[in-house]
Amino acid sequence: MRGVVFDGKEVRVVDDLEVREPGPGEVLVGVRAAGLCHSDLAVVDGTIPFPAPVVLGHEGAGVVEAVGPGVTHVAAGDHVALSTLANCGACADCDRGRPTMCRKAIGRPGRPFSRAGNPLFQFASNSSFAERTVVKAVQAVRIPEDIPLTSAALMGCGVLTGVGAVLNRAKVAHGETVVVIGTGGIGLNVIQGARIAGAGTIVAVDTNPAKEDPALRFGATHFLTSTDEVREVLPTGADHVFECVGHTGLVRTAIDLLDRHGQAILLGMTAPAAEASFPPAAMFLDKSILGCRYGSSRPQKDIALYAELYRSGRLLLDELVTATYPVEEFARAAEDAEQGKVARGVLTF
């Protein structure tokens, strides 16, 4: 079968991948669509350290082909969106409703794939850049069949992370003010999450002026090309500032733009050893800096909610899909993503 493999030096689309059958508590999914997220590219450029060789991809949707013993919530033929949270469901964090903190779901890659008898790692317990993948049952979330799979794929990462950061982590309240720095796939979902939450003012900031139309479409009330202009819109600062770029200087900027009792939410992925600085005195007015893993999400609950929000017209998914590419055109999709030409490019099988 076809798939996108990174061998530690280069990325190739191969056609001789194999994947094992699902075991107890596992699901075999025929992937139909997979969003290309910058996290996949961050594995290739080394920003996210990950063992190789690895099958890339972590944002996908498809159709269940088989289930292992003990799986009852999905069956062959069901449409599913895939999450990256291979959480155990039994530890203290899972029991408290914090599956993103499950230690068994962090940094423990399996190897269900092989080529010529040699095992390959699975990225983010998912590897959606393959025609078929095996995931833990908890990662397969059943969705209505009337949701296009090219759109549904994006719920597994970009939507869970962006919208979830607003609703689950920051808990933006009706009428509050929000600044979103960076309006790529994650930023656009933060914007629409803020709109869904009822934020009063939503300021989108991106150096690329071409990002204005999509930002406004997703719910921004203002669009700026520089953070220097934010205070003209919000003279006292913002209740919430989301940094969606992964630039250490912008972490400082996010903190500087906070109003009293404001909070900066860090979503952009920096290099593991990168450091950011800020004056601690700035925090004494009850300001906060929040990390956020995967939108602090509970995928089985949240994806079902987002599916209904989509069907009611409140959550935009189709509009996120700027372009689709057959998997063989991965290189072109990656180039378009790196050049900021797409909100989300989606690979299809």
CA distances from 52 to 14, 43, 57, 193, 331 (A): 15, 10, 14, 35, 19
Give the C-alpha separation, 270 to 338, whole Å.
16
Query: What averages of pLDDT result for each successive group of 10 residues across the chain (349 residues)?
Result: 96 97 98 94 90 96 98 98 94 95 83 97 97 97 98 96 98 98 95 98 96 97 98 98 95 97 94 89 92 96 97 97 96 91 91
Which single residue is written with the structure tokens 């080394």?
Answer: 46
Q: What is the pLDDT of residue 179?
A: 98
Which single residue is written with the structure tokens 């204005």?
Answer: 212
Q: What is the pLDDT of residue 107?
A: 64
Give the C-alpha separation, 322 to 341, whole Å.
8
Give the C-alpha separation, 75 to 240, whole Å.
41
Q: What is the pLDDT of residue 269?
A: 84
Give the C-alpha separation, 45 to 154, whole Å.
22
Mean pLDDT of the chain: 95
| Residue 299 contacts residue 161 (beta carbons within 8 Å) | no
Q: What is the DSSP string of 6-50?
A: E-SS-EEEES--EEPPP-TTEEEEEEEEEEE-HHHHHHHHTSS--
Give the C-alpha separation, 25 to 27, whole Å.
7
Residues 6+ apart with CB under 8 A from 183: 191, 204, 205, 206, 211, 214, 215, 220, 244
Q: Is the pTM of this model over 0.85?
A: yes
| Residue 223 contacts residue 212 (beta carbons within 8 Å) | yes
